[in-house]
């Protein structure tokens, strides 16, 4: 029997009162000795920041393994669950406080008002430029999947459309 998927729909317009929660973007507390920021902005096809997008982050532990710990919605500040969620601000900016994954990328989803279905992408660590998957992406678009190191950690902008449009992913059976 074929189980046909339920199609997606936009998260907009007013998801923020429902999906945001205390500490959603803080996978570790700011004062954690190994804390880094993964931050950036979301832009539309006119190069304008998108103030009503929701970015979700799912990443490996520093060991490289996916965490199997619960507690992503009610954090105890000691358990690293690898999961976070951040709505963009008026300037289109998001920022997570997290740990460097012991695997080459942060897995991200992008939802927004005006975006009819969610999108998947990956923010690769700058050191991962030789990754086998990245080599399957056209050379001139590859940089859209690479985070840039800065003083705080990593910067990763997401462009829904236009010049330097981010590479978004389709997975088999999806």
Residues from 120 through 159 that contact other proteins (CB under 8 A): 120, 122, 133, 136-137, 141
Minimum distance from residue 37 beta carbon to other proteins (Å)? 19
Q: Which residues pair with 93 in a beta bridge?
A: 41
Contacting residue, 113, 125, 129, 143, with other proteins by CB under 8 A: 113
Residues 54-93 within binding reach of other proteins (CB under 8 A): 56, 58-60, 64, 66-74, 81-83
Minimum distance from residue 100 beta carbon to other proteins (Å)? 13
In contact, 55 and 94? CB cutoff 8 Å: yes
Minimum distance from residue 151 beta carbon to other proteins (Å)? 26
Q: Which residues pair with 105 in a beta bridge?
A: 124
CA distance 116 to 127: 33
CA distance 26 to 97: 5
Contacting residue, 23, 100, 103, 143, with other proteins by CB under 8 A: 103
Q: Which residues pair with 119 in a beta bridge?
A: 110
DSSP, collapsed to helix, strand or coil, labels residue 104 as coil
Interaction between residue 27 and other proteins (CB under 8 A): no
């Amino acid at each position: 029997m074929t189980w046909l998927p339920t199609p997606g729909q936009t998260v907009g317009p007013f998801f923020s009162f429902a999906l945001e929660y205390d500490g959603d973007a803080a996978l570790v507390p700011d004062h954690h000795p190994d804390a880094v920021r993964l931050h950036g902005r979301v832009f539309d096809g006119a190069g304008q920041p998108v103030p009503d997008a929701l970015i979700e982050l799912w990443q490996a532990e520093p060991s490289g393994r996916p965490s199997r710990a619960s507690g992503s919605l009610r954090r105890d500040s000691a358990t690293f669950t690898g999961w976070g969620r951040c709505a963009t601000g008026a300037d289109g900016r998001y920022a997570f406080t997290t740990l460097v994954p012991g695997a080459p990328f942060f897995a991200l989803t992008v939802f927004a008002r005006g975006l009819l279905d969610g999108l998947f992408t990956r923010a690769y660590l700058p050191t991962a430029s030789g990754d086998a998957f990245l080599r399957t992406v056209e050379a001139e678009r590859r940089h859209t999947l690479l985070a840039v190191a800065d003083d705080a950690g990593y910067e990763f902008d997401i462009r829904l459309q236009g010049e330097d449009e981010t590479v978004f992913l389709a997975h088999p059976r999806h």
